[in-house]
């Protein structure tokens, strides 16, 4: 159902089913489509409560119909992720679209989320289907294993999946090392078995400072 046209446009072919996408990300469609604005980030009462607590501004829309919709957002690179019953954790600003077979929610992430100004929660996607996530520049997918834990700069982190544990550790970030940040900095450490998606450009955070 999801396919890329180039690296920056997502085409979704629909036959009466629905897709959830970032509000305002549709650039064109053919056929017959119906659009509905949704409160984004999560579903149900828990999603509403966590969004109220964190002030998360993510807004989704539901598109349903017959035809093809094209989605893009600020010329960001788009990456397709196939989920087979597993869970994807993704920064809400990096989520473009999910198909109808996937559920979205929110989960507590601790200090990393707070430091980025995105609240204490991040978006979760789980089930069977496809998701489209965005990156500033081509994303790099890094494997984490028990022998090789991974440390990531918080501004470059996009998403992760698999059996991973993430922890907060203070230290020198790449940005602070280059003299572009001040104060106490931190990194995200991943251990276990899974994949971490990073982008070759750091989003505007407060430089990983607490």
Number of structural domains found in the chain:
1
Among 52-66, 114-128, 166-180, 187-201, the least confident range: 166-180
In angstroms, the CA 201 to CA 54 distance is 25
CB under 8 Å to 8, separation ≥6 — which residues?
72, 75, 76, 77, 78
In a domain, 95, yes or no: yes
Q: What is the CATH number of the domain that holds 21?
A: 3.60.160.10
Of 38 and 29, the structure prediction assigns the larger pLDDT to 29
In a domain, 203, yes or no: no
Provide the pLDDT for residue 178: 56
CB under 8 Å to 200, separation ≥6 — which residues?
135, 136, 137, 138, 140, 156
In a domain, 180, yes or no: yes
Domain hosting residue 163, numbered range: 2-198
Among 39-43, 90-94, 137-141, 171-175, the least confident range: 39-43
pLDDT tens digits, one per residue of 170-182: 765 555 555 555 4
Q: Are 102 and 83 in contact (CB under 8 A)?
A: yes
Among 2-16, 60-74, 157-171, 174-188, the least confident range: 174-188
Mean pLDDT over each residue of the chain, to the nearest integer: 81
pLDDT tens digits, one per residue of 100-132: 889 988 877 655 444 444 445 688 999 999 999
Among 186-190, 195-199, 204-208, the least confident range: 204-208
pTM tops 0.85? no
- 57 confidence band (pLDDT: 50, 70, 90): low
């Amino acid at each position: 159902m999801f396919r890329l046209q180039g690296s920056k446009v997502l085409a979704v072919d629909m036959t009466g089913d629905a897709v959830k996408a970032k509000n305002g990300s549709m650039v064109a469609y053919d056929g017959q489509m119906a659009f509905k604005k949704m409160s984004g980030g999560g579903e149900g009462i828990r999603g509403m409560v966590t969004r109220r607590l964190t002030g998360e501004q993510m807004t989704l829309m539901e598109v349903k119909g017959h035809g093809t919709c094209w989605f893009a957002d600020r010329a960001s690179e788009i990456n397709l992720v196939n989920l087979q019953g597993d869970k994807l954790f993704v920064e809400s600003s990096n989520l473009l679209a999910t198909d109808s077979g996937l559920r979205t929610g929110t989960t507590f992430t601790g200090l990393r989320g707070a430091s980025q100004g995105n609240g204490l929660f991040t978006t979760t996607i789980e089930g069977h289907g496809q998701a489209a996530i965005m990156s500033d520049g081509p994303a790099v997918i890094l494997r984490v294993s028990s022998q090789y834990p991974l440390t990531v700069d918080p501004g470059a982190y996009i998403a992760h999946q698999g059996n991973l544990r993430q922890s907060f550790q203070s230290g020198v970030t790449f940005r602070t090392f280059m003299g572009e940040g001040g104060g106490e900095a931190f990194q995200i450490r991943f251990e276990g078995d899974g994949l971490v998606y990073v982008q070759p450009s750091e989003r505007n955070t407060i430089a990983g400072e607490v």
